[in-house]
Amino acid sequence: MYDAVHALPSPYSEAQRRAWMPEPRQGDEWNARLCRQHIVIADIAGHTAGFMSLEPQDDASLGYVDFAYILPQYRGQGIFAALYGWIEARALGAGITRLTTHASLAARPAFEREGFTVTQEETVTIGAEQLRRFAMTKKI
């Protein structure tokens, strides 16, 4: 995740990427967050190429795609679509009928290819930096 955020080219400046993720995430709080989610990892010849996660919501018909990261050297190879296919199948199996996410500038086109639509453009302030992102949704 850290490597994906800091990879170039990026639509975000170096300062924005440092604010977003100053160091790799770890620790009890991070582990607890991940434990609430269904995670799928893309493995290419023994190397992690990316991952995506689905977090069920209090409303059982709603799911949240929390993380979607592909390392730059694996982008453009259909990995996002493959990971998303697993997420959507898992969601449907759990009775989820609508997915939401907050997509970065880089992730928005990939989510749109999977049928998500933008519901709102947002600006998130982290420290002194402002980052644009998009609230998106898809009925499944």
Which domains does the chain show, CATH number per domain? 2-139 (3.40.630.30)
Nearest to 77 by CA among 44, 106, 105: 44
Digit-coded pLDDT (tens) for 33-81: 999 999 999 999 999 999 999 999 999 999 999 999 999 899 999 999 9
For 76, phi and psi rounded to 5 degrees? 80, 15
Q: What is the pLDDT of residue 9?
A: 87
Mean pLDDT (whole number) for 25-31: 93
In this prediction, residue 107 carries a pLDDT of 96
- Write down the pLDDT at residue 23: 95
Residue 8: predicted pLDDT: 84
Instruction: List phi, psi (to 5°) of 137.
Output: -145, 160
Residue 129: name the closest of 2, 12, 3, 30 by CA: 12
Dump pLDDT digits (tens) for 82-118: 999 999 999 999 999 999 999 999 999 999 999 999 9
CA distance 70 to 107: 10
